[in-house]
Amino acid sequence: MDLDLVFLGTSGSVPTARRGLAGTLVRRGGERMLLDCGEGTQRQLLRSTVGLVELPEVFLTHYHADHYLGLPGMLKTFALRGREVPLTVYGPPGLKELFGGLRRIFGKLTYPVELVELRDGDSLDRGDYRILAVKVAHGVPANAYAFVELPRPGRFDVETARALGVPEGPLFGRLQAGEAVELPDGGKVGSEQVLGPARPGRKVVLAGDTAPSASVLEVAQAADVLVHEATFAEEERTRADETLHSTAAGAAALAKAAEVRLLALTHLSNRYFGPEIAREAREIFPETVVPRDFDIIDVRFQERGGPRLVKAGARPAREEAGPDGEHGAAGGGGGPHGGGGDPDDPGVGGDPVGASPGRRAASGGTR
């Protein structure tokens, strides 16, 4: 089951030329869930390899304008296309009140919109995984969302099953499903005889806007990926405290304490480009990345290598390489993707995120 995160907007409060406002798409198998919908998100989707698909679900972390202003426009676009598929919007308490105002903007829609307010501790059961809403520390009702997969059954040991006399066919399936079976010769085989230990599912936590918070620390324990804001660097610690945001160091300390596998920092203030945020965080927690818009985090199972950042993974090829593409004009020759240059090297051009330490981050590893 594929699971990944597409970063559509990684700037905090105001957009920059390189970074759009909050928007992250969670893709799991055929499911698509949009978390936050800052201004410009529908266009970011259009520009990405994802496209403006008829999203069935949008989760809002909180109701600061940089996280929802894109929603009325996107809802309107869907209506102009004659969408009929229902859409559900989830958010912390206050969602219905917010939509009282937004309805005046988008008017009548061609499809039903359901509003679901999620309080601290509420969870949505999705069969083999669940989505948990957790209240965070941002001064207004604000949720983190945790996507938590159930443990997977252990590996089925075909050799042992054969040796025990189990004929191939339906009995194999029942054993794999955890049932005990009776053999044609009257013997019995239990699933524990042929299944290895259960394997952990994956956990991905998107914390939204928040000061470092005990609730995020708890829900993010041993998460595969924690997406956390780093609006500021430590030099603006006072401002971070006052506004209930986090510094890169604060987020990194939390990730370290929670023992996550990969920390992804987002929601950068427009005075930072990325490398300084990455540097500060990596001194505390080396497994930190600072995704740019259109980067993807592929959340692979541990046995397949664990989570990794795929740079420009959702950027269409023509934007990647074109001479008029947004990276091309920034200097340093044919753009970061043209001549084998390092997209993270501040000397090459483009938006230099994740440059430190050295060139290691560009190797496509799990930094």
Which residues make up the interface to Zn ion (CB under 5 A)?
64, 66, 209
Contact 359, 344 (CB under 8 A): yes
Q: How far is the CB of 15 from Zn ion (least distance, A)?
A: 11
Smaller CB separation from Zn ion, 42 or 210: 210
Q: How many CB atoms lie within 10 A of CB 343?
A: 23
Q: How far is the CB of 61 from Zn ion (least distance, A)?
A: 8
Smaller CB separation from Zn ion, 251 or 355: 251
Beta bridge partners of 268: 11
Residue 296: closest CA among 69, 1, 37, 10: 10
Smaller CB separation from Zn ion, 3 or 60: 60
Beta bridge partners of 115: 89
Helix (H) or strand (E) holding 336: none
Q: How far is the CB of 159 from Zn ion (least distance, A)?
A: 54
Contact 344, 354 (CB under 8 A): yes
Question: Residue 111 contacts by C-beta under 8 Å, 6 or more apart in sequence?
Answer: 78, 79, 83, 84, 85, 86, 87
Q: How far is the CB of 96 from Zn ion (least distance, A)?
A: 19
Report the catalytic residues: 66
Q: How far is the CB of 264 from Zn ion (least distance, A)?
A: 16
Smaller CB separation from Zn ion, 60 or 355: 60
Contact 113, 87 (CB under 8 A): yes
Q: Which residues of 215-253 are buried (b: 16+ CB within 10 A; e: fewer)?
A: bbbebbeebbbbbbbbbbbeebeeebeebbbbbbbbbbb
Rama region for 238: left / alpha / beta (φ>0; ψ in -120 to 50; rest): alpha
The DSSP symbol for 304 reads: G
Q: Which residues of 82-107 are buried (b: 16+ CB within 10 A; e: fewer)?
A: ebeeebbbbbbeebeebbeebeeebe
Smaller CB separation from Zn ion, 18 or 64: 64
Contact 362, 336 (CB under 8 A): no
Sign for the CA dihedral angle at 314, 354, 276, 226 comes to positive
Residues in the chain, overall count: 367
Smaller CB separation from Zn ion, 12 or 328: 12
Q: How far is the CB of 72 from Zn ion (least distance, A)?
A: 17
Smaller CB separation from Zn ion, 23 or 307: 23
Q: How far is the CB of 194 from Zn ion (least distance, A)?
A: 50
